[in-house]
Amino acid sequence: MAEINEVMRQIRERKSVRVFEKKDVPQFVKDEIISAALQAPTAGNMMLYTIIDVTDQEIKNQLSLLCDNQPFIAKAPMVFVFLADYQKWYDLYQAAGLSARKPGPGDLLLSCADAIIAAQNSVVAAQSYGLGSCYIGDVLENCEQVKQLLDLPEYAVPAAMVVYGYPTKQQLERKKPPRFQATHIVHTNSYRKMSDEELLAMYGEQDTNESIKNIYERKYTSEFALEMNRSASEYLGKF
């Protein structure tokens, strides 16, 4: 059998880290992580994203409050916001004398893909330097305040936020949550709608209904989920 290679080992071992050592990220490592993000595939080689490197502690504090009040954001030594950014191309077209149409939903989705792929490259690179990371989906909330805080123009939308830092021993020892089986995730040639039985088997926990209800209440009907949808509609409304 083929040996597990280093990249696969690191991908399997990566898990979200939410408690960090009080240790700064050396500039060289930060530069490497940014370099990895910039080397990611990008639609039309246009780099439809901007990375905001949040170094100001007050801005971190504000983000930690605006992103569903998650205090570990403020404690992270490195915080990047990955913006899906069509603004710069819209402006560039004008600068080149073109009367550009305003960006549409397809442009937004493509730039979100660009931003998130760059973010994931940064996560993989961070892991290779012993840094933990965690995505913060809640950056989609409170668009009015986030836009003001980061001075965002109309066509730049936070697609992802990632916080990075050296994991504490407890975080290193924490078990990574398991994934669903590939048979439930990979469909061949066309979409296969799963039966109720298969869906429940996919989830496969004891007290399945009870624990699905728990996720439903925490992730789908909770205040943060409703706020995220309200706020994201505001961003989308511009496209």
Contact window for ligand FMN (CB under 6 A) among 4-12, 81-89, 132-140, 192-200? 132-140
Q: Is 147 in the site for ligand FMN (CB under 6 A)?
A: no
Cβ 146 to ligand FMN shortest distance, Å: 13
> Nearest residue to ligand FMN, using CB?
137
When binding is defined by CB under 6 A, the residue of 62, 64, 70, 142 that contacts ligand FMN is: 70
Q: Which of residues 169-228 bind ligand FMN (CB under 6 A)?
A: 176-177
Sign of the Cα pseudo-torsion (20, 23, 29, 30, in order): positive
Residue 65: C-alpha distances to residues 19, 51, 69, 167 (Å): 17, 20, 4, 22
When binding is defined by CB under 6 A, the residue of 47, 54, 125, 136 that contacts ligand FMN is: 136
Q: Is 137 in the site for ligand FMN (CB under 6 A)?
A: yes
The three-class DSSP label of residue 36 is helix
Q: Total residues contacting ligand FMN (rule CB under 6 A)?
A: 11
> Residue 173 has which token pair?
């020892």
| CB-based burial label for 133 (10 Å; 0-12, 13-18, 19+) | buried
Distance CA 142, CA 232 (A): 9
> Residue 70 has which token pair?
């998650």
Going by C-alpha positions, the residue among 82, 77, 75, 72 that lies closest to residue 27 is: 77
Cβ 168 to ligand FMN shortest distance, Å: 15
Q: Which of residues 100-119 bind ligand FMN (CB under 6 A)?
A: none
When binding is defined by CB under 6 A, the residue of 85, 107, 114, 138 that contacts ligand FMN is: 138
Q: Is 153 in the site for ligand FMN (CB under 6 A)?
A: no
Give Cα 101 distance to the centre of its chain. 28
Is the CB of 42 or the CB of 133 nearer to ligand FMN? 133
Contact window for ligand FMN (CB under 6 A) among 12-20, 31-39, 45-53, 208-216? 12-20
Q: At CA 72, angle to CA 71 and CA 77, rounded to 5?
A: 125
In angstroms and rounded to an integer, the radius of gyration of the C-alpha atoms of the chain is 20
Is the CB of 107 or the CB of 138 nearer to ligand FMN? 138
* Cβ count within 10 A of residue 218: 11
Is the CB of 103 or the CB of 158 nearer to ligand FMN? 158
Site for ligand FMN, rule CB under 6 A: 15-16, 18, 70, 134-138, 176-177
